[in-house]
Amino acid sequence: MTTETARARTAGLEAEVGDALGDPGIRVAPWREGVDYFADLARHPDGRIAGVVRSPRHEVLQTDYEGAVDFADVLAKEVAVLGLLGEAGVPAPAVLHWRRRGAPDGISWMLCEHIEHQPTEELNADQQQELGRITRMIHSIEPGATVGRPPDPWPSYVLGRLTDRLRAAEKYCPGLPVDRVLSRWADGAPAGAERTDALLHLDLRPPNLCVRQGSIAAVIDVANAITGDPWFELARIRFCGLFTEAFRAGYGLDAADVEHHRGILDFYELDIAALLTVVAVEEIDDQELLASSRARLEHLCAQIVR
């Protein structure tokens, strides 16, 4: 994004955030960027940080794997999820204000508390164990109908989701046995899914953890959150390489638990492996991510159909 484009975007945010805070001197400056969102810093005239402004890159995005995504609806869900996390004692930033775009060409945004931290790419064993405890706390929350609860029964929802994502990834993985994989799920899901009413974050990895003085000070970026089976989240954590002995100890899992759920972990991990295979080509042009995600996707499919 050019400097001129960034300034035009933040100028619009300044007016709205300043109005919400009753401070016309608010200034918004680019800070960090994700695949789908901008994260900008809002400051008062005296330099104090008012919060982090989160706004979507695209208000509505058409995707091969999820259809049309309206990010104003996603922000509304994030507000609800962050409120639930706070009520449950999960470390997370407070939502200070948010607004849905007022016009088709407007910007939806959310102003959150700024959590001082240093970005990290890896977690040590203590932090992995802490992440396990935090993940268990998140999964203890039952949000009911307030957060992304699938309209279909869980097995049908997962089958539909996997079908969409595997079909989208198929064109980048010649020979992928998609039909055989899907028939295995349709014939009867593996052991698991004892409960499907848990809050799932679905993006618990270092970029979305605020680590300060060696501890996890906050969990951020809850855009992917849904209500479902905790093992669906654990499969994503396995994909990210964080389903370690330390993590499992923090979560409260033993070897027998993991072995019993090994089959469903493989199915559930297809979701993120297929998604990132597509995203690596169609959204961010990351050949390294494409190679690793495709290799994992092909391995999981081969394991399931054996």
Residue 102 domain-assigned (yes or no): yes
Specify the length of the chain in residues: 306
Residue 140 domain-assigned (yes or no): yes
pLDDT value, residue 45: 95
Question: Do 42 and 157 belong to one domain?
Answer: no
Question: Do 101 and 139 belong to one domain?
Answer: no
DSSP 93: P
Going across the sheet that includes 37-43, the strands are 27-33, 37-43, 49-56, 109-112, 95-99
pTM: 0.92
What is the signed CA dihedral for 115, 118, 122, 127, rounded to 10 degrees? Answer: -50
Alpha helices in the chain (DSSP H): 3-21, 71-87, 125-139, 154-170, 178-186, 230-239, 245-251, 255-260, 262-282, 287-305
CATH number at residue 58: 3.30.200.20
Phi, psi of 251 (to 5 degrees): -75, -30
Phi, psi of 205 (to 5 degrees): -155, 165
Amino acid at 23: D
Residue 106 domain-assigned (yes or no): yes
Question: Do 147 and 82 belong to one domain?
Answer: no
pLDDT value, residue 35: 82
| Boundary of a domain, candidates 80, 112, 144 | 112
pLDDT value, residue 106: 84
Question: Do 86 and 169 belong to one domain?
Answer: no
Question: Do 105 and 137 belong to one domain?
Answer: no
Residue 119 domain-assigned (yes or no): no
How far from the centroid of its chain's Cα atoms is residue 199's Cα? 12
Residue 117 domain-assigned (yes or no): no
Residue 227 domain-assigned (yes or no): yes
161 is in which domain, residue-wise?
125-305
β-partners of residue 28 are 42
Name which of 241, 225, 235 is nearest 123 in CA terms: 241
pLDDT value, residue 146: 67
Domain count, the chain: 2
Instruction: Please state, in angstroms and rounded to a whole number, the distance separating the CA atoms of residues 203 and 201.
Output: 6
Q: ∠ CA 225-60-115 to the nearest 5 degrees?
A: 45
Residue 235: CA count within 13 A, CB half-sphere: 24
Instruction: Please state, in angstroms and rounded to a whole number, the distance separating the CA atoms of residues 107 and 64.
Output: 24
Question: Do 268 and 134 belong to one domain?
Answer: yes
Question: Do 47 and 94 belong to one domain?
Answer: yes
Question: Do 107 and 133 belong to one domain?
Answer: no
pLDDT value, residue 18: 95
Question: Do 102 and 137 belong to one domain?
Answer: no
First-to-last alpha carbon distance for the chain, in angstroms, is 46
CATH number at residue 252: 3.90.1200.10
Q: Are 17 and 53 in contact (CB under 8 A)?
A: yes
pLDDT value, residue 252: 98
Q: ∠ CA 88-94-96 to the nearest 5 degrees?
A: 145
Residue 120 domain-assigned (yes or no): no
Across the 306 residues of the chain, what is the mean pLDDT of every consecutive 10-residue run? 76 93 95 89 96 93 77 92 96 96 87 93 96 98 78 88 95 95 84 85 95 96 94 97 98 95 95 96 94 98 93
Beta-carbon contacts of residue 257 (< 8 Å; ≥ 6 apart): none
| Boundary of a domain, candidates 112, 137, 158 | 112
Distance (Å) of CA 119 to CA 28, 33, 226: 21, 13, 25
Question: Do 132 and 91 belong to one domain?
Answer: no
Residue 118 domain-assigned (yes or no): no
Question: Do 84 and 129 belong to one domain?
Answer: no
Encoding tokens for residue 70?
A: 């309206």
pLDDT value, residue 52: 97
| Boundary of a domain, candidates 112, 142, 161 | 112
Instruction: Please state, in angstroms and rounded to a whole number, the distance separating the CA atoms of residues 28 and 154.
Output: 42
Instruction: Please state, in angstroms and rounded to a whole number, the distance separating the CA atoms of residues 91 and 255.
Output: 28
Question: Do 98 and 160 belong to one domain?
Answer: no
